[in-house]
Structure formats: C-alpha cells, structure tokens
Structure 1
Amino acid sequence: MILEHEIPQGGKVYFGKSAKLKREFENNICKIFYNNGFEEILTPAFSFLQHQRDFSDRKIIRITSQNNQQIALRCDSTIDTIRIITKRLARSTGAKKWFYIQPVFSYPSNEIHQIGAECLSIKEFDNLLTIGIECITQLQIPSILQLSNIKIPMLCAKELKIDIKNLLSEEINTLLQYEFLAKLIAIQTIDDLKHFIPQAPAFLKNELEKLLAIAQKCNHNNIIITTIQEAPVNYYNDIIFRIFINNSTLLLGGKYKITNEASCGFGIYTDNIIDILQNKE
C-alpha cells in the first residue's frame, strides 16, 4: 500500500526554510556567473538515448517515444549542454561560457539538483576554478579542495605496461612495490608535490608541474593533492578538482573533451549544500 504522503525513493521535497535556502543560494550563484560573463541555458529533461552515456553511479532511466525511438531522462547536464551549444546554437551565439540550474535523474527514481558551469575554451580553466572556489567559500563553511591530474595515473600505467583500470584497482601494497609510485601516493600537500618534482621520473614531470602551477594559484586555505585518482566521469581527461566536507561532495569539475571540444566546467551538488546549510543554522 502506498500512503498519500509518500514520494518515490530518491525524490526531493524542499519547503519552507529549505526552499528559501535553496532559492537564496541559487540566486547568489547566478550573480557570480553573470558577473563573470556567463549566459544561462536550460536543456530538455528528455534526450535521445544515443546522446547519453552510462555512468558507474548513475543508471539511465529509459523510455520509448511515440515513434519507437529510445529516449532517456537527462542523467548528465554537461553532455547535453556541450552538444546543444556546439551542434545547434553555434551559429546563433558566440558565447563560450554557460551555466544552468536543473536536476539530473538516475534509475530507479533518483533526482539530483545541480548547478553547472561549462566553458568551451580550455584557456578559461584558471578563471573557472577561481569561480568554483568562490561559489563555495561565500557560504562561509570550512571545506577541502582536492586537486588531481588524470594524466598522471595514465602515464604510470603506460610506463608499467599495464591497463589503467588495473592500476587504479590494485591493492595499495601492490602499488608500493614500485618506488616512484610509492612516492607519488605519499604526496598530499603542495610542499610534498614541490619536493617530489625534482626527483620525479622524466615522463611525469610535465604533468606534475602543471598540477603544481594550478595548486599554487588557488585561493583556498585547505588544499590536498591526490596524484593517483580515477576520473569521476569518463569524459574528464586532465586536471580535476573537488570541494568537499567529510564525505559530502559540494563541487566537482575539471578539464574534459566532448564531441572533440576541449572544454572545462564544474557541477555544484545543491542537495548536499542545502543539507549542510540547514545543519549549520
């Protein structure tokens, strides 16, 4: 029996104080984006299945259209945003920086509220990271900024002649038998990274120096470096960043390539932030 007050598991209800917190937060983020030259976009909740990708933590909700075409509820906003801008809007707008406020959905009935930003220019990465940090620090809650470079484990796997999936899934003790990997895994701070680079293998130095340069520019008082990190989403292919509290992710982003377009962006996990703001008050 389904009671009248029940909602499907994974659904979200915001009301009263929580709805007010959510609206105020979204309005503040909009101001930050507009002040930095972003345009807003809203993409359809439904898209053709061929335009979606399967993710390890999000299973696609599929339906069939009246023409017997496979359609899916949006499970990722980045893919649709980049595809629509490059394939549909490119001729009518020259804008390169976009943001959106919309949920994504995953099977069986999960609803995830997000705010996202996408830049169709890799040159905007430093500025984008600064904006992402500003979005979270204006909440005045302590957080940790984690920086990684996806190319580092890829280069390690190539050097050791093993599959990247095998490298990332190995037990830590297995990885520690390689001296350079043991030193890489031990890196946690900017100083650790700075001290390791002079003794790093030649095939890693360029990517390590790139990670260090980004870390030294960040205006955040609690930065950790993770050198062996799996890409959280399969289109990320370079520097990635994550802001979190305990085990709760507040923001996730980085450099990526979709439809051969080198871009960068991030997503803010609104539901997690509202939970934290409610507990704070």
Structure 2
Amino acid sequence: MITKPRGTVDLYGKKARMYTTMKELVCLLMNNYHFEEIITPVFENEQLFTNGIGQETDIVGKEMFSFLDRKSRSMVLRPEFTAPVVRSVIENKLYTNPLPLKLFYFDKCFRYERPQKGRQREFWQFGVEIIGVKSQLAEVEAIQIIVNFLTILTIEEYKIRVNYLLTGSEREKYITELKKYLKNTKLCEDCTTRIEKNPLRVLDCKIDVDILKKAPKMVDYSSIKDKENFDKIIKVLKISNIQTTKDDNLVRGLDYYTGLIFEVDLKFKDGTYLTIAGGGRYDGLIEKLSGPALESVGFGLGLERLFLYIEDRNIELLHENPVEVYFVGLTDQSRIFTSLIANALRMGGVSCEINHDERSLKSSFKYCEQIDAKNIVVIGDDEVKSNTFKVKNQKTKKEKTIVGFEELVKYFIDNKKGN
C-alpha cells in the first residue's frame, strides 16, 4: 500500500471544512483592512531563499526541499512566504501601484524537519506583508490583525513577546560583544557552530537558556532613534489595549529583519505556551533582491498550531449547514425528476441530497438519518404525474402536501430564508 509522505496529513470531512472556514474568516478580516490576496508558486529558484533569508539560517542550511529540474536548475519548495512575495512584487513591478502594498496569503509551505506536535513538513500559513511604509503604525497594524483574528476565534489567553533588532554599526558592536561572551561559555553543539556563522541565532536556543540570561542585551547598544521607534510602537499598542512583553533574546529565525520583531504565544490548558505567529520589520530585503528601497513589515501564522489550540480549548469553529431535504426517487424516471428539483434548490442556496441509485425505502430513511436531513420527500412516477409532493419533517414527523414543481422549490427556498 502506498502511503502519504512523512510529515504530511490528509484533510477531509470536518478537518477540511475547518481549513475552509478559517480561510473564509481570514478573507473577511483582510477585506476590512483593505488587503489583497497574493498567490505565489509552490516552488521557486533556490537562490531566492539563499539570498533572501540568509545562507546560515536553519531553513536554508537544513530544512529546504530542494531538487534539480530537467535543465539542472536548483529549485526548492517554498519554506516561507516573505521572500516569494517580495520576488513577485519586484518581478511584476507591483511597487508602481499606490503604496502601501497590502498583501495577504493563505497557503502551504514545506520544510524538511522532524515532524512533531503542531509542526509538519507540509504546513499551512496565513500571513500579511505591508510594503512601502516607514511609519511604526505598520508594525502596530500587523499586531492588531493577529489580535483581532484571535478575538474573532474567541481566543483570549495569549502573550505577545517583542524585541528590537539592531542595524548598522550598533548591530556590529553588539555582535562583537555577544561573540566575546559566548566564546567563554559552554554551549550546545549547534550553538557552538553558530557563534561564528550566525551568533544572533544562539539567543534563540532552547537548550542554553540559563547561559543566555546573562548575555549582553541589544537594548544596551541601541541608538536613540531605535529606542524612540520601539517606545512609540509600544505606546500605540498600549493605547490599543494590546499588552506586550519585552524578550531580549527574541531574534526570529530569518536574517532579513531590521527593527521591531514579535512572536505570539497561545496558552494551552496545561499551562504551556506554543508560538503560533511571528514577524516584524524588514526594510532592506526588497533592495537586497534587486528591487527599490522599500520599508516593509509582515508576519506569518501557523494554522496547524492554531488548530491544536482550538482542539485543546474545545472552541467551536464550524457552523453546521445541515441537509435541508433528502429526495428519494423510486424509479429511473422519478430519480431524473429529483435531480432537476435538487439542482433548482442548490442554485437557490438550499442544501439537499438525492438517491442516485435504486435503494429500498428502509435504506433511504436510514440514510436520511445518517446525513441528518431535516426533511424527506419520496417521489415515484405517480407523484411526478400528479405534480403533488409530500414533505415529511424528520424532527416533528409532520407532513405537508405541496402541489407544483415551482411551489415545492419555493417552499424550501423560503424556509431557508426564514420566511
């Protein structure tokens, strides 16, 4: 038997409907914020990510699904969305449109890593990119979107951790001091390697937590302008009733960030927290990928972890749309007739079902119960000839006689509208 690849899942039934419902909620929210959806290819040129997110990042170094096409060009399944969105903005000259560009995505990413709780090799992300905005209000809006999204889902127990990544000479000075400190400590194997290649990533280590508590703090090397920018963002968030926690060791796993960064953690029933979203400002990425100098802010939110939380907290996400009526055709001719009725009702927004093949009345009533249809209408050749139909309500067990094809269609459409 051929099975699905490790780190992937099949979505069907309720789970598939949950993803569809989530996409609908996202689209409604994004419309309110005047964002437009962007859909990029599932695979991209490998150079996009090595140049864009950093050669020494874990994503590029360990986690990309890479392959050669028939012309020996190196391709990868996209491991994240910001670089592809930026590539699309540059290639299609979207920056010539009125700025800011406000784009959102809801699609799959791929990373070759060990599958674990809330982390698959094929996974879904919802995220936004706000391109062409200098103001710190862009960071505020990005965080507000996440908070409002969680509010729509009735999620209240979360925390937002923030930090401010240095740039320019301040960044160089900090890295120099950080290296000095780290070289005098005993770190895990991965972090020992990172000291020279990507020292900021050491701060994010989950093993050397105690050692990193005494590491130099970025805030001590911040310029006056950086401190003013950070304070302004936090002030506006407080005015918006959004509380944040300063995390001096928060760095994110991508090299393109250049200012405020943030992560959002959800609190599970057992008291543990799991990060579901993260993002920040990345002012130099578009220029680095041969586009114009445009300041940008974005975030990505993992759907798998969000659904873990929804399950953990027993949040009811789906609103059932039950089958309004089940039509049972007793003969070949009457089954054709039920198909015509069902089509008319479906076009009118009414959910209904028919028996495509011959089955006994007993089997038909049993199936009606299985799909939880509200009503059942049994139609034979006599009903077709007389154009008269009996509607039986499965809940009240009451019957109603309706004369005429059009009247039968109108009856169910009016019931759907609540008339």
TM-score by length of 2: 0.55
Is the counterpart of residue 135 in structure 1 residue 155 in structure 2? no
Deviation at 1:137, TM superposition (A): 2.7
Match of 2:393 in 1: none
Q: Find the aligned partners of 2:246 and 2:48 in 1 and give their Cα distance.
A: 33
Q: Which residue in the other structure is 1:155 paired with?
A: 170
Judge conservation of contact 1:22–1:274 (CA < 8 Å) in 2: no
2:281 corresponds to which of 230, 255, 262:
255
Aligned to 1:195: none
User: Number of residue pairs matched?
Assistant: 259
* Aligned CA-pair RMSD: 3.1
CA contact (8 A) 2:112 2:121 kept: yes
Is 2:251–2:261's contact at 8 Å kept on the other side of the alignment? no
**Aligned partners of 2:221 and 2:65: how far apart in 1?**
45
Q: Which moved more, 1:215-224 or 1:232-241?
A: 215-224
- Could you tell me which runs of 5 or more consecutive residues in structure 1 were left unpaired when the two chains were aligned: 186-199
Aligned equivalent of 2:77, options 57, 69, 73: 73
Letter in 2 for 1:262: E
Kept in 2, the 8 Å contact 1:143–1:222? The answer is: no
Select the structure of larger CA radius of gyration: 2
Percent same amino acid among aligned pairs?
19
Q: Which moved more, 1:56-65 or 1:78-87?
A: 56-65
Higher-strand-fraction structure: 1
Q: Is 1:85 matched with 2:89?
A: yes
Distance 1:248 1:37 in 2: 29
Bigger shift: 21-30 or 127-136?
Answer: 127-136
Larger deviation, residues 51-60 vs 239-248: 51-60
Give structure 2 stretches of 5+ with no counterpart. 114-119, 180-193, 267-271, 288-293, 315-419
Query: In the aligned structure 2, how far is the partner of 1:78 from the partner of 1:26?
Result: 19
Name the CA shift for 1:63/1:174 in 2 (closer, same or farther; >3 Å): closer
When residues 70 and 161 of structure 1 are mapped into structure 2, their CA distance, relative to the original with a 3 A threshold, is closer
State the one-letter code of the partner of 2:36.
Answer: E
Moved more, 164-173 or 266-275: 164-173
Write the mapping of 1:101-180 to structure 2, written as runs, cut at 5 A. Answer: 101-107=106-112, 110-122=121-133, 123=135, 124-141=138-155, 142-151=157-166, 155=170, 158=173, 161-162=176-177, 166=195, 168=200, 169=202, 176=214
Where does residue 251 of structure 2 map in the other structure? 230
Distance 1:16 1:220 in 2: 38
TM-score by length of 1: 0.79
CA contact (8 A) 1:64 1:71 kept: yes
Tell me the CA shift for residue 240 of structure 1: 0.7
Q: Residue 56 of structure 1 corresponds to which residue in structure 2? A: 58
Q: 1:201 to 1:82 in 2, by over 3 A?
A: closer
Moved over 6 A (4+): none
* Cα deviation code 1:12-39 (max 9, x no counterpart): 2222222222222221111111111111
Greater length-normalized contact order (CA 8 Å, ≥ 6 residues apart): 1
Equivalent in the alignment of 1:276:
309
Stretch of structure 1 that moved more, 164-173 or 67-76: 164-173
Answering whether residue 15 of structure 2 is matched by residue 41 of structure 1, we say: no
Alpha-carbon distance in 2 for matches of 1:37, 1:231: 27
Describe the superposition over 1:241-269 as per-residue Cα deviations: whole angstroms up to 9, x where unpaired: 11112342221111013132321111111
